[in-house]
Each structure stands twice: as C-alpha cells, then as structure tokens.
Amino acid sequence: FLRLYIRNKNMSELVYRSMTLPDIEQVYEIECSCFSQPWSVESLIGEVIRNDAASYVVAEDNGKIVGYAGMWQMFDEAHMTNIAVAAEYRCRGIATNLILCLMRTAKANGGKRMTLEVREFNHKAQRVYFALGFRYAGTRRKYYSDTGENALILWNDSIDNTLRAHADGSCSESL
C-alpha cells in the first residue's frame, strides 16, 4: 500500500493510507465516538472487501488510526460517504487531507466531481468543505433520522481545480 507522510500543524508526522481490514476496529471506535448512529462493523467490512465502488483512507499517528474518510465512485462522480476525526486530533488539517486523498483517488479513477451531505447545523464541517471548493446545491429534508435535521447537499464541480489549489504537499498522490 502507498503511504504518504505529511507533517501536520503541530509537527507530528501522520501517515495517510488506504484502509484495510485490520483497521476496522479502530475506525469503528472513531465512528462510535463521532456519530449517534454509527455504521456497523459489518457495514465497514463490506465497504472494504465487497464494494468495488468504495475507497477508504485512514490517517494514522504512530500506529493509531486518528481519522478516516470514504467515498463511492461511479464514473466521473464521487460521493463522500463518511469522514470522522478523533476528537483529540481535530483542528489539525486532518479532515482536509483525508478529503484531498479521496479527491486524488477519484481523479486517478476518472473522477471530475464530488458530492456529499452534511448536517445543516454542522458549521465546522461546512467551513472545511467550502474551503475545498464545495458549494450548496440543495437540501434533503429531515435526512438524519436521529434528530430529524436537514442535510445540505454540497457539490465540488472540479476536483482538478481543488487539487491544483491545494498542491502544497497535502496528499499529493492517490491511494
């Protein structure tokens, strides 16, 4: 597996790499700590071994998984399915780098655009997405069954432009 070493804001070196089955336990712990309705272990395993449209990446700090992100890709469109960073590792650029890794992977597989849904009131995540060239495209009413909250539909219409704008060493290769 390709490994990318990227120094984050506090100068520790993180590894960004493709998610593998042995990572599932730690990914599931992050999933449970971040979401009120986490994906099951079985769902995560299925994404890694059975879903040919799926690509997942993890951020690793000295052997500890500290974040992950996934997408499904169909032709030239990628749909980011999930992203999470452990609470003690937030605000270090990890989510941005995970998304850039997914974008590189999508581009390497012919991807041109990316979409996602984000909770209407998750303003921190929205700031990350808007900084990466996503724009508002619509609303899914009462999308989140745990709270009835709406989801904003965001699109990035040019993965290539975003990667060029962020070509400062952040996840410079596909995984």
Return the sign of the alpha-carbon dihedral for residues 65, 124, 130, 31: positive
Q: Which of 31, 47, 60, 117 is catalytic?
A: 117
* Residue 159 amino acid letter: I
Contacts of residue 45, Cβ cutoff 8 Å, sequence gap at least 6: 21, 24
Residue labelled with tokens 């500890």 = 64
Query: What secondary structure letter does DSSP report for 167?
Result: -
129 catalytically annotated? yes
> Nearest CA to 53 among 70, 36, 34?
70
Q: Which of 47, 120, 129, 173 is catalytic?
A: 129
Burial of 150 (0-12, 13-18, 19+ CB in 10 A): middle
In total, the chain counts a number of residues equal to: 175
**Of 154, 163, 49, whose CA–CA distance to 108 is shortest?**
163
Give the C-alpha separation, 71 to 55, whole Å: 5
**What is the set of active-site residues?**
117, 129
